[in-house]
Amino acid sequence: ETGVTQSPTHLIKTRGQQVTLRCSSQSGHNTVSWYQQALGQGPQFIFQYYREEENGRGNFPPRFSGLQFPNYSSELNVNALELDDSALYLCASRPTATSGANVLTFGAGSRLTVL
Amino acid sequence: AQKVTQAQTEISVVEKEDVTLDCVYETRDTTYYLFWYKQPPSGELVFLIRRNSFDEQNEISGRYSWNFQKSTSSFNFTITASQVVDSAVYFCALSEAKTGANNLFFGTGTRLTVIP
């Protein structure tokens, strides 16, 4: 059973709207990352948070933003939704931001459809 | 620039056959990690194996084995005696020391179908 849970599992929005996706990580996992997986593609790194601050971002515009909370939960917010934002959004966590040996644990994702 | 290529889009095998999934990577970093993840229809990525750039020792774990060759920048994955439960999309991924362990670069995946 995965230690990372995400909600909602599915949602539908219209272009221009805003969406918030939620993630709950395992206790002690103080690093969280978010990925976007378009249909038929591999996941793409959006950004990562460590101790409630963003400390790494992929090639995504500022309308993609996040929050991390002390209770190991986090959010991904996307403003001004576009049709191309339709994808599976995956949350991943691991215990520390400094060790390269730790492995990311992924959640099952939130599937967003933008109409 | 970093890149992961999985040239096989889809593979179908009959149960009990062996199957090898190919992965070729590109990186300028001398310290990096390679991964294989499995994504069943439920969506979550399940970690299978990690190798660092200094460890070319190949490994066998049950029905799974991995072949890491730095000379050809390849990190191939073999399932022996495949089973229907192995049906999933398999992703090869790369992380570099300079971009951090949270930033994985994934290939486009190989969809494996095991026919009973």
Q: How far is B54 from chain A (nearest CA, A)?
A: 13
Q: Facing residues of A68 across strands? A: A74
**CB contact at 8 A, B63 and B10:** no
pLDDT at B60: 79
**Residue ranges with strand state E in A1-115:** 5-7, 10-13, 19-24, 31-37, 44-50, 53-57, 64-68, 73-78, 87-94, 105-106, 110-114
CB contacts, 8 Å: B100 with chain A: 48, 56, 97, 100
CB contacts, 8 Å: A103 with chain B: 35, 47, 50
pLDDT at A95: 74
pLDDT at A101: 53
pLDDT in tens, B93-111: 999 988 877 889 999 999 9
pLDDT at B61: 83
* Nearest residue in chain A measured CA to CA from B45: A106
Cα B100 to Cα A29, A34, B66, B74, distances in angstroms? 16, 14, 23, 21
Which H, E and C letters describe A41-70, residue by residue?
A: CCCEEEEEEECCEEEEECCCCCCEEEEECC
Q: How far is B42 from chain A (nearest CA, A)?
A: 7
CA–CA separation, A87 and A93 (whole Å): 20
Angle at B110 between CA B104 and CA B113, to 5 degrees: 140
Tokens 């959006």 identify what position? A46
Question: Does the pLDDT value for residue A97 go beyond 70?
Answer: no
* Nearest residue in chain B measured CA to CA from A101: B101
**CB contact at 8 A, B94 and B28:** no
Assigned token pair, B85: 């439960």
Give the pLDDT band of residue A96 (cuts 50, 70, 90). Answer: low
Contact B47 A105 (CB under 8 A): yes
pLDDT in tens, B6-48: 999 999 999 999 999 999 999 999 999 999 999 998 888 999 9
Question: Does the pLDDT value for residue B79 go beyond 50?
Answer: yes
Nearest CB among B43, B45, B97 relative to A100 is that of B97
Contacts of B89 (CB under 8 A, 6+ apart): B38, B39, B109, B110, B111, B112
Question: Does the pLDDT value for residue A1 go beyond 50?
Answer: no
pLDDT in tens, A8-42: 999 999 999 999 999 999 877 888 999 999 999 99
Assigned token pair, A3: 């230690």
